[in-house]
A and B are shown apart, each in its own frame.
Chain A
Amino acid sequence: MTSSLSPSDEAAPSSAAYAELAALVMRAQNGPNQSQAQSELYTRFYSGIHATVLAWAPTTIAHDLVHDVFVTVFAELPKLRSPQAFATWVMTIARRYAMSWRRKHHPTVELTDETGVVIEEDATVADATKRALAAIRSLPATYREPLLMRFVEGLTGPQIAFATGLTPASVRVTLHRGMMLLRQAMQGAAL
């Protein structure tokens, strides 16, 4: 799956890009070529949802959860009244799925946005990858998701803004603050 959230790779998402996405969502709701439009949404949002899920759940379960998210998204899509809110809506569902999974499997651990999460990865994941994931997951949720979108999926800031429905300025600040916290957490140590 490629990182194709935004039509433009480097520039800030334009209002035309948002309008185009809203039109695509409406087609996926109940328009001509509905399944084609749904496939397009699947391709565009897969990477963003995957990174969001990784902020809360281990790598082994992440792809399954992404598929569960899409099943719900396409089942509920006709009820979405604001197509322009699709990105926010879909990321909310992804986060809810991942958090539900975590609550179900770790019922005694308090889950808040302010604190980091500790997630055990299995032996198939390389040590450097585990350390990188652990460092990012130790941050508050505010920073985890955009940093994972940036580093796991290779999305640029404008693409993250497009995927999450947040403003580019907000994403930029979050990325930089998150990176600053990562630097403090790493304290010069290599991955």
Chain B
Amino acid sequence: MSDYLWDKSGPVDPLAADFEAALAPLASGAGTEMGSARARQQAAQRRRNHRNMRIAGGVTLLAMVAATTLLLIHHRTRETPDTGVRFVSGDATVQYSQDSHADRPTTSPGPDMNAHATPSRFAPNQVLGHQASIQAIEETYLTLDGLGSVSLAPGSILRVLAKQHGVTRVALQNGRLHARVTAPPRLFVVDTPLATAVDLGCEYTLTTTTHHTVLRVISGSVEMQLPPELQAQIGTHVVRVPERFELQLAPAARGAVPTHDRASSPMREAIAAFAKAPVASVPALVAHATPFDGVTLWAAVTQLSPTQPGLREARKALLTPLVRWFAPPALRSPPMLAQMAAGSWWPLLVLDLAQNGAFDVNEAPTPY
């Protein structure tokens, strides 16, 4: 893929070229005669290229618009109702809804099935169509074509949504789902009344009622995407949950951080308190955290906005043990900590990478 800004390949971006020409005299090599000459030559060449590239760019743009339109038309016409979900064994009823807009499960209690069709029993190897609602009577096993498998606990209600762009999507209305996904990340998505679980290559259990959702990741990791109302309350749109961590979500949550399976009882209490009053529970989180709780502290940092000055001290308190455990030496100074508390992007990114790298081998975190 050509990209002039990235690697100077492809059509010249006129504005980028203007900036290059204007700033070339400042280059550290420009003090020498060779540097200046080179800059002048480059600027002249770019001006010549501009004229030609603008014409070529216009033609290319038109061609790209036409090609994209054709691709979209083609894609729409070949989209099939195939969901990729197939019944394997167990006992469940299936009912088809006519309500094609009910893609996200509602928070109203009870099965989300309407009276347009009569429930019927599953048959082995039956392919489930778009908008099929399954109610498991016994433990029920489903396969996801080429992606992995899912089991539903008795009493669970699952709606199968249309497969689009290779993504298999289901909605867990109520009950417990256990997923084992072997496909590349982001190809299996589960909606719940409170959030959306996006598989990142993993095995996990998702339990949901209308009042809470619990995600427990056994291997790999899952991204929990929050709906706008929870985003506004919690201050983030996504919570990443790695293996051996559990995330609990409630409709009134003010914070949502994952809990490591080794977390102590006081740490679990602090995490529960964080969900209700994030800032007030920061001292308890810091006091009871061990390096295994690094992901928990990190998630808490991301949910306290650096743009609110009152939260900077809380961020700093959470970052202090993280920096001590995981940060490269260059990030360990007090001014650097202050910058991170204020939301400075790059040391936070380095810390994030260092911390997640340390937790790749979850059995033994490897601090710097």
Q: Which residues of A contact B (CB under 8 A)?
A: 1-3, 10, 46-47, 50, 54, 59, 63, 66, 79-82, 85, 88-89, 92-93, 96, 112-114, 125-126, 128-129, 131-133, 135-136, 141-142, 147-148, 150-154, 156-158, 164-167, 170, 172, 175-176, 179, 182-183, 186, 190-191
Q: Are B28 and A1 within 8 A (Cβ)?
A: yes
Give the contacts of B190-227 with A (CB-CB under 8 A): none
Partner of B16, one of A165, A172, A179: A179
Known contacts A3-B29, A82-B368, A191-B18; is-contact A88 B23 (Cβ 8 Å): no
User: Pick the contact of B22 from A131, A153, A167, A183 — CB < 8 Å?
Assistant: A131
Q: Is the CB of A150 within 8 A of B5?
A: yes
Residue B144 is within 8 A (CB to CB) of chain A in the complex:
no
Centre residue among B8, B19, B27, B350 by max chain A CB count within 10 A: B19
Residue count of chain B within 8 Å CB distance of chain A: 39
Query: Which residues of the other chain, A, contact B265 by a CB distance below 8 angstroms?
Result: none
Q: A82-B368, A88-B350, A166-B346 are in contact. Are A152 and B27 (CB under 8 A)?
A: yes
Contact A113 B5 (CB under 8 A): no
Chain A interface SS verdict (over half): helix
For A93, the chain B residues whose CB sits under 8 A away are 330
Tell me the smallest distance from the CB of B332 to a CB of chain A, in Å.
11
Residue of B nearest to A93 (CB): B330
Residues of B within 8 Å of A113, CB to CB, are: 339, 342-345
Most buried by A among B20, B28, B328: B28
Q: Chain B interface (Cβ within 8 Å of chain A)?
A: 3, 5-9, 13, 15-16, 18-29, 307, 328-331, 335-336, 339, 342-347, 349-350, 353, 368
Q: Is the CB of A153 within 8 A of B27?
A: yes
**Is the beta-carbon distance between A151 and B16 smaller than 8 angstroms?**
yes
A135 nearest CB across to chain B (Å): 8
A170 to B353, CA, bound (A): 12
CB distance from A56 to the nearest CB of B (A): 13
- Contact status A129-B336, CB under 8 Å: no
Closest to B339 in A: A113
Complex-state Cα separation, A14 to B27, whole angstroms:
26
In angstroms, Cα B250 to Cα A11, docked, is 46
- With A113-B342, A158-B7, A175-B6: A126-B16 Cβ-Cβ less than 8 Å: no
Are A129 and B23 interface neighbours, CB within 8 A?
Answer: yes
Give CA–CA (A93, B329) in the complex, Å: 12
- What DSSP secondary structure best describes chain B's contact surface? helix
22 pairs across A/B with beta carbons < 8 Å? A2-B29, A3-B27, A47-B29, A50-B28, A85-B328, A85-B330, A88-B350, A89-B328, A92-B331, A131-B22, A132-B22, A135-B19, A150-B5, A151-B19, A151-B20, A152-B24, A156-B6, A156-B8, A170-B349, A172-B6, A179-B5, A191-B19
Contacts of B3 in A (CB 8 A): 157, 172
Nearest 3 A/B pairs, CB to CB:
A132-B22, A89-B330, A157-B6
| Whole-angstrom CA separation of A182 from B14 in the bound complex | 12
**Minimum Cβ distance to chain A for residue B10 (Å):** 12
Question: Please, how many angstroms separate the alpha-carbon atoms of A63 and B7 in the complex?
Answer: 26
CB atoms of B28 and A46 under 8 A apart: yes
Return the contact of B328 from the options A1, A88, A166, A182 (Cβ within 8 A). A88
In the complex, the answer to whether A133 meets B23 with C-beta atoms within 8 Å is yes
Question: Which of A2, A125, A133 counts the most chain B CB atoms within 10 A?
Answer: A2
Instruction: Determine if A152 and B350 form an interchain contact, defined as CB atoms under 8 angstroms apart.
Output: no
Assuming the contacts A47-B28, A142-B346, A158-B7, asked whether A132 and B19 have C-beta atoms less than 8 A apart, the reply is yes
Q: Could you say which of B8, B22, B329 contacts A80, with CB atoms under 8 Å apart?
A: B329
Which one of A80, A151, A167 contacts B23 once the chains associate, using CB atoms below 8 Å?
A: A151
Give complex CA distance A7, B13 in Å. Answer: 25
**B349 vs chain A, min Cβ distance (A):** 7
- For B347, what are the chain A residues with a Cβ–Cβ distance below 8 Å? 92
- A residues near B331, Cβ cutoff 8 Å: 92
Cβ-defined partner of A132 (8 Å) among B6, B7, B23: B23
Give the Cβ gap from B327 to chain A, nearest Cβ, in Å. 10
Nearest chain-B residue to A176 (Cβ)? B5
Contacts of B24 in A (CB 8 A): 152, 154
Q: Chain A residues with Cβ under 8 A from B346's Cβ?
A: 142, 164, 166
For A179, give the chain B residue with the smallest CB separation: B5
B331 to chain A, nearest CB (A): 7
**A112-B342 contact, Cβ under 8 Å, with A132-B22, A182-B15, A190-B18:** yes
A156 engages B7 (CB within 8 Å): yes
Asked if A157 and B368 sit within 8 Å, CB to CB, the answer is no
Given A2-B29, A85-B329, A154-B27, decide whether A191 and B5 contact each other with a Cβ distance below 8 A. Answer: no
Q: Can you name 7 extra interface pairs (CB under 8 A) apart from A132-B23, A172-B3?
A: A3-B28, A80-B329, A126-B22, A132-B22, A156-B6, A170-B349, A183-B15
The distance in angstroms between the C-alpha atoms of A98 and B178, with both chains bound, is 53
Complex alpha-carbon distance, A92 and B337, angstroms = 13
* Closest B residue, CB atoms, query A133: B23
